[in-house]
Amino acid sequence: MNDPEAANRILPVPDALVGRRFDVALSKMLGLSRAKASDLIDSGHAELSDRSFSKSTVLLAGDTMEVRLERPEPRSEPIATEMAIAYEDDDIVVVDKPVGVAAHASVGWSGPTVLGSLIARGVHITSYGAPGRHGIVSRLDVGTSGLMLVCKSELAYKEMRRQFANHEVAKTYHALVQGNLEQDRATIEAPIGRAKVSDFRFTVTPMGKDAVTHWDVLERFSAATLVSVNLETGRTHQIRVHFSSINHPLVGDHMYGANPKMAESLGLERQWLHAMRLEFRHPRTHVWTRVDSHYPSDLQIALDLMRSRHTQK
């Protein structure tokens, strides 16, 4: 059983499993299904030391199992090669995150991440922060594109974390919402928490955390309104939840009640939302710093279609 590509394990049979079938005992010891345990025995990847056996062999006191488990191939995270860097110095890097890129690795996510892509490019990121999330002081959803700041130095991490926590960073988003907003500007102030119907959805609830969203109308269409949004707080899905709560969900945001036919007609496969601008005091120089983005192609095409339809009416 000497195979450099496999992990060998020597397992003395515990007293509690003496008298049980080999396959049954193996499944219990390794946490496998009985079928998988049987496959390991039949393929010669699991044996009993010093005596003949089959999967139905009854185990005796003093028996020892030898198990060879194939080492899994190390997974190489895909790299977001199209992710642009909007600003970089020795302390911080601001990326223009494309849709479909997560901020960092997480359970169940196999796509590219901002953190992994930066490291793969040779960008040094501070070790400060939670494991696997080091350097990150704020995040964007996978389905939201735009500007996201990552810290390269310890000084930057401590200072930018403080600025974000104290709501000193000005975050400006542009969103296309369904319907015609009655006011030219307004504030939505409503607490946000997890929705009981789903682990992935959030909702306005008295039991939630305080959330404040300011918006100004940029452009009006017959079926939608383009708005500039500033956040005082940074709750998960805040913009999406708040606009849905006033019956103006983001165009393309099916999770929060958007009309799927409208999104389909505009060629949209996600919510129309983009992080357009970040303004903050530089963590080292304390100079007020502004970084701007532009609409990615899918949002620009959808907006142009909306404009052309509006002018034709």
Whether residues 61 and 89 share a domain: the answer is: no
**Given a cut of 70, is residue 303 above it in pLDDT?**
yes
Report yes or no on 292 lying in a domain.
yes
Whether residues 173 and 308 share a domain: the answer is: yes
Beta pairing class for 145-151 and 273-281: parallel
Domain range for 23 is 6-70
Q: What confidence tens digit (pLDDT) does each residue in 280-293 have? A: 999 999 999 999 99
Q: What is the mean pLDDT of residues 14-24?
A: 89
Whether residues 283 and 182 share a domain: the answer is: yes
Tell me the pLDDT band of 27, cut-offs 50, 70 and 90. confident
Report yes or no on 275 lying in a domain.
yes
Beta pairing class for 192-194 and 185-189: unpaired
Separation of CA 310 from chain center: 35
Angle at CA 99, nearest 5°, toward 94 and 101? Answer: 70
Tell me the pLDDT band of 168, cut-offs 50, 70 and 90. very high
Whether residues 192 and 311 share a domain: the answer is: yes
Percent of the chain with pLDDT over 90: 70
Whether residues 144 and 173 share a domain: the answer is: no
pLDDT of residue 204: 95
Q: What confidence tens digit (pLDDT) does each residue in 170-227 have? A: 999 999 999 999 999 999 999 999 888 766 789 999 999 999 999 999 999 989 999 9
Report yes or no on 301 lying in a domain.
yes
Whether residues 124 and 239 share a domain: the answer is: no
Whether residues 130 and 182 share a domain: the answer is: no
**Given a cut of 60, is residue 274 above it in pLDDT?**
yes
CATH assignment of the domain containing 185: 3.30.2350.10
The reported pTM is 0.75
Report yes or no on 1 lying in a domain.
no
> Which of 39, 89, 141, 216 is an active site residue?
141
Whether residues 18 and 62 share a domain: the answer is: yes
CATH assignment of the domain containing 13: 3.10.290.10
**Given a cut of 50, is residue 259 above it in pLDDT?**
yes
**Given a cut of 60, is residue 2 above it in pLDDT?**
no
Q: What is the mean pLDDT of residues 114-126?
A: 95
Q: Is 90 assigned a catalytic role?
A: no
Measured in Å, how far apart are the chain's first and last C-alpha atoms?
Answer: 76
Structurally, how many domains does the chain consist of? 3
Report d(CA 73, CA 10) in Å as an integer.
22
Report yes or no on 206 lying in a domain.
yes
Whether residues 41 and 120 share a domain: the answer is: no
- Quickly tell me which residue has 């496959």 as its tokens: 39
